[in-house]
Amino acid sequence: MKHTKLRFLATALAAVLLLTACAGGAASTQTTAPASKTAETQTGAASEDTQQWVPTKDITFVVPYEAGGNSDIPARIFAKYMSNYADVSVNVTNIEGAGGRTGAQQAMEMDADGSVILMQPVAYPMQYSMGVASFTYEDFEPVGQWLDSCLALVVNSGSGIENLEQFIAKAKETPGAVKLGSVSGTLPMFAAMYLQQQSGAEFNLVDLSHNKAPELMSNRVDAYIDGFGAVKQYVDSGEFTCIALFTDTDLEGYEQLDTLAELGYSGYEYLKQSFGMWAPKGTPAQAVAYINNVMKQAAEDPACQEELKAAGFAAAYMTVEDYTSFMADTYAKFQEAAAGLAG
């Protein structure tokens, strides 16, 4: 099993390094026009702590992935509601390339005046732990967390497998034969390796860079791991069965699905699929506080919560202080996990 882990990790590193060598910087911008601001939202956009600072130009929300993708969709939803509470529009700009690092590197060089925020995916601490990202949250100004989701392990509903226990038992009966898919150099890859390590089963870890759902539908893999938002439609249609959620909290509307906590697993917290915001280094603290306050109001808006829920996500607000501590802990856990998986 150790050789399987090493081969898969080597493949993942090679894939991510190749992306780095071929990194491009395609950018597209779409303005999220603010809804008509009521007097309440206009005057309530800033708390007493942030009223001394007000933006003088629109805020650019850099999403380091392609437009229309699984990360872009919730970003555009959230930007729309942030625009309702800010004094300016919050506009999404997509800068894709190198697994999200191109967007981060370009955002790092943008104006540090409160007019730029970068979407922080969990990929950044993961890539840093693998030695392919050179930056951390300390090279930016942490602003806060705004989105939460979780990974899901799914099987074809026609497979006869109804739960994680059956899936693990099948893998142990035929070591190395059960094909578990993920994408090299991503959070699901770490999740696949975590499950192998914690369960004692030996999987055939398969890289599914493209067409994940068709691979499972055609039974070319036995299961795969992806964000719940990405598999939700197949779970809802009955085509896939979700046999485990990588979380300790039930998803609203999906309380019947097993979480790893309910199944007796632990130590998976670093695999949480959360998203935060960073600002360029040197952005004034008052500007950071202002944006964090706008994030809070958007995250607490019931309409925003419902729209995100429909897309398979959940608003999850954190203060600047809590988010900074969360980032430090997340980076440390990924460093530990990467060392353990390679060893």
Helical H segments across the chain, by residue range:
2-21, 39-43, 72-85, 101-108, 123-129, 164-173, 187-199, 212-217, 228-237, 285-299, 302-310, 320-342
Q: Which residue has the higher pLDDT, 309 or 13?
A: 309
Residue 87 identity (one-letter amino acid) = D
The widest CA-to-CA distance across the chain, in whole angstroms, is 65
Contact call for residues 67 and 98 (beta carbons, < 8 A): no
pLDDT band at 118; cut points 50, 70, 90 = very high
- Output the CA angle 335-337-341, nearest 5 degrees: 120
Tell me the two tokens of residue 1: 């099993």
Chain centroid offset of residue 31 CA: 23
- The single residue listed with the structure tokens 């699905």 is 257
φ, ψ (nearest 5 deg) of residue 319: -70, 165
Q: Domain ranges in the chain?
A: 14-149+272-342, 151-269
φ, ψ (nearest 5 deg) of residue 29: -125, 135
Identify which of 163, 166, 209 has the alpha carbon closest to the alpha carbon of residue 189.
Answer: 209
Same fold, 14-149+272-342 and 151-269: yes
Question: What secondary structure does DSSP assign to 171-221, as a single string?
Answer: HHHSTTTSEEEE-TTSHHHHHHHHHHHHH----EEEE--S-HHHHHHTTSS
For residues 78-106, one letter each, b for 16 or more C-beta atoms within 10 angstroms of the residue's C-beta and e for the rest, the string is bbbbbbbbbbbbbbbbbbbbbbbbbbbbb
Question: Mean pLDDT in the chain?
Answer: 86
pLDDT band at 342; cut points 50, 70, 90 = low
Give pTM, 2 decimals: 0.76
Q: How far apart are CA 292 and CA 343, in angstroms?
A: 39
Q: Does domain 151-269 correspond to CATH entry 3.40.190.10?
A: yes
Hey, CA dihedral for 97, 99, 103, 106, is it positive or negative?
Answer: negative
* pLDDT tens digit sequence for 328-339: 999 998 888 788
Contacts of 335 (CB under 8 A, 6+ apart): 128, 129
Topology classification of domain 14-149+272-342? D-Maltodextrin-Binding Protein; domain 2 (3.40.190)
φ, ψ (nearest 5 deg) of residue 146: -135, -15
Give the pLDDT of residue 51.
58
* pLDDT tens digit sequence for 191-205: 999 999 999 999 999
Q: How far apart are CA 195 and CA 183, in angstroms?
A: 15
Tell me the two tokens of residue 12: 């993942």
Which range, of 26-30, 51-55, 95-99, averages the lowest pLDDT? Answer: 26-30
* pLDDT tens digit sequence for 36-88: 343 334 334 444 454 589 999 999 999 999 998 888 999 999 999 999 999 99
